[in-house]
Structure 1
């Protein structure tokens, strides 16, 4: 009976597998382009795009460009709270819905690490061509930070950003996860890949900004029920990012909220200290949660990001806030 049970479990496992959206880099890739509120990827996907500052808003001259990658189950609206603040400093922000999220077709179906990485790399190239005199910084929040690491750690000839900002980087990969969690997730993803989890009852706090959390809860484009195979894909992505972090060769600012209840602080610290010491700056916030760019102290977080941008070598233009006075003594660690 034991052997039959094992055989039955094995048959169930091989009968199903995690679902991943198909992605095949074209043999003769298009250049990709930006059209109004669409990022056309090299393989022809149209990803919804948002650009700050808004056209009707007065802003200082552009001093830098930030490509912002949202977190798991989120979308480009993740930066509604922070992008206007960056725009007040003269930072132009681009954010798109990554494949499998937001207003894209098949939202909720995992897109695969290769596709997520390739999309970010291609858009970096487009932005460097569009803004040749400005530094381009790749900013990723949570899952977006893991994608950022993969995009910047490649050895290929893809255009590189001038710097990276990793906000609460998602790094709880297979090597950081207890054995029981690893085995349970593997079995669930291979036996019932479409099983959906809501996380209700966990009572985890993602931010101290109650208004932002209520807005996320009511937003139909924020995924509330997550397929287990998407979680499986996320963990694999985080593991790849952890392994790739040692190859980062651009200045990198890592932002950590010490009250983060979504990811283990130990895992975030692990990826932060895997980045070569000469490239990394780590900034911790004693009252910060996971969603630092939505937190009530997001002005301080944004000020630190701008300070990091202003310290990048090779660019004479500095970002200066014209709406309010610059907060004093907000130095990086």
Structure 2
């Protein structure tokens, strides 16, 4: 029996959340499982998304993996992060990776954070321009391009998936899942890596602070990425996050 990893994707999303990470995981794990939540498959309707069905799915999958593998790591993004922590308390998990865990959601401070980020980087780019520092200008220009690219991608996801007439019912199931996860997660006793981007459009900093406070293991890392949004691994600049995750898993 060899190592396995369970990956839990985000709300109204799919296994594509982990695309940049998958080639590296294939080098490290004999078995990789990415269950697709009810109603989230390519030929399914979000009408079929339920809290009960989602919990049953992930519980069955973690039981199957822990029964067949001596070591199971769990990686979750957004809603999947909240569910991953929930599973880690109820089952034998080796290591836990939480990417922008949505234990709290809707970042009302995001607009101010983004304005501050824009001013800071535009000012730095202007200084580099007047100093004729071409490398500096290029560096800050790339940072701003990444932010605008992430926003465009996030808006596209909202337009294509979120703006549906049946969103209210789907959202209620999302809220039920988060409530269940929070009530069922009182402490995290395994090595845990928590990642969050300061430009996150959905998850506030309080969410990762709360999860960090629940961690009891000495091998716990909370890393805040100054230039990242909620897209995390889907961002143009995901290389640093990938490196940090792999370093944590390999340690």
The TM-score, its normalising length taken from structure 2, stands at 0.69
Check if 1:293 corresponds to 2:233.
Answer: yes
Equivalent residue, structure 1, for 2:72:
136
Equivalent residue, structure 1, for 2:60:
122
Check if 1:259 corresponds to 2:206.
Answer: no
Equivalent residue, structure 2, for 1:81:
20
Give the paired residue count.
Answer: 212
Equivalent residue, structure 2, for 1:4:
none
Give the conservation status (yes or no) of the 8 Å contact 1:66–1:136: yes
Check if 1:65 corresponds to 2:4.
Answer: yes
Q: 1:241 to 1:128 in 2, by over 3 A?
A: closer
Q: 1:295, CA displacement in angstroms? A: 1.6
Deviation string 1:219-267 (CA, Å, 9 cap, x unpaired) is 97x5552521221222232233233332322222111111111122223
Q: Which has the larger radius of gyration?
A: 1
The 3-state SS of whatever aligns with 2:185 is helix
The 3-state SS of whatever aligns with 2:87 is helix
Give RMSD over aligned pairs.
3.6
Give the conservation status (yes or no) of the 8 Å contact 2:20–2:242: no
Q: Any unmatched runs of 5+ in structure 1?
A: 1-62, 178-205, 312-333
Q: Distance in 2 between matches of 1:85 and 1:209?
A: 25
Which one scores higher on RCO, CA 8 angstroms, separation ≥ 6? 2
Q: Distance in 2 between matches of 1:81 and 1:141?
A: 13
Identify which of 163, 183, 193 aligns with 1:243. Answer: 183
Q: Any unmatched runs of 5+ in structure 2?
A: 109-145
Give the conservation status (yes or no) of the 8 Å contact 2:96–2:191: yes
Q: 1:104, CA displacement in angstroms? A: 6.0
Q: 1:209 to 1:129 in 2, by over 3 A?
A: farther
More helix by share: 2
Check if 1:168 corresponds to 2:107.
Answer: no
- Please identify, of 288-297 and 226-235, the stretch whose mean Cα deviation from structure 2 is larger: 226-235
